[in-house]
Amino acid sequence: MPTSDRICVGAIAGSFGVKGEVRLKSFCAEPSDIASYGTLVSEDGSRSFRVTLTRPVAGGLGARLSGVATKEEADALRGVGLYADRARLPSLGDDEYYHADLIGLEVRDTGGALLGRVHAVHNHGAGDILEITGPALREALLLPFTRAIVPTVDLSAGRIVADLPQELD
């Protein structure tokens, strides 16, 4: 049950240099793949860019974007997410998911009780964390996205089953 025809593959972190280059943050498993998905668009679809990678830079990749020629134009794009058409992205293997497909899924415990929905997927370097929110939760529930904690992901049914650790029951 794809949530969108486009997937966020990166973001513009700001300008790099004085000739319109940008610093890109790539969300791809192989960072340089961001340039291989064809024209990328902003979230609202109002801007589109062809990406040409120039060099690795601290915290990302240096790149030239079509239509961006000055430092000021590059600075104005800071924070803009870059989206690729889903059809251009590689097929995923079993037990692999695009974050966009997980967000919004219903989350139930192993007894069938509704916990909430996936609000966001975070990764701070040690693996994916699902942020679950819902009316029955006083605060967001953060669950490691591992097979032990999340044994079932059923995209077609729009549901995740979570086996909560005892301290969270």
Q: What is the CATH number of the domain that holds 161?
A: 2.30.30.240
Do 77 and 114 have their domain in common? no
72 and 110 together in one domain: no
Q: Output the 3-class SS for the chain.
A: CCCCCEEEEEEEEEECCCCCCEEEEECCCCHHHHHHCCCEECCCCCCEECEEEEEEECCEEEEEECCCCCHHHHHHCCCCEEEEEHHHCCCCCCCCCCHHHHCCCEEEECCCCEEEEEEEEEECCCCEEEEEECCCCCCCEEEECCCCCCCEEECCCCEEEECCCHHHC
Domain annotation covers residue 1: no
82 and 127 belong to one structural domain? no
Domain limit, last residue, from 45, 60, 88: 88
Whether 94 is in a domain gets the answer: no
What band does 167 get if pLDDT is binned at 50, 70 and 90? low
119 in the same domain as 56: no
For residue 57, being part of any structural domain is answered with: yes
Task: Give pLDDT, residue 168.
Answer: 61
Q: How many domains does the chain have?
A: 2
Mark whether 49 and 111 lie in a shared domain: no
Stronger pLDDT, 130 or 2, i.e. the higher one: 130
In this prediction, residues 161-167 reach a mean pLDDT of 83
Predicted confidence band of residue 94 (pLDDT cuts 50, 70, 90): confident
Where does a domain end: 32, 61, 88? 88
Q: Is the confidence at residue 152, as pLDDT, over 60?
A: yes
Range of the structural domain that residue 81 is part of: 6-88
pLDDT at 68 exceeding the cut of 80: yes
Q: Say whether both 10 and 84 belong to one domain.
A: yes
Domain end among 88, 111, 136: 88
Mean pLDDT in residue range 42-54 = 94
Given this model, what pLDDT does residue 135 score? 86
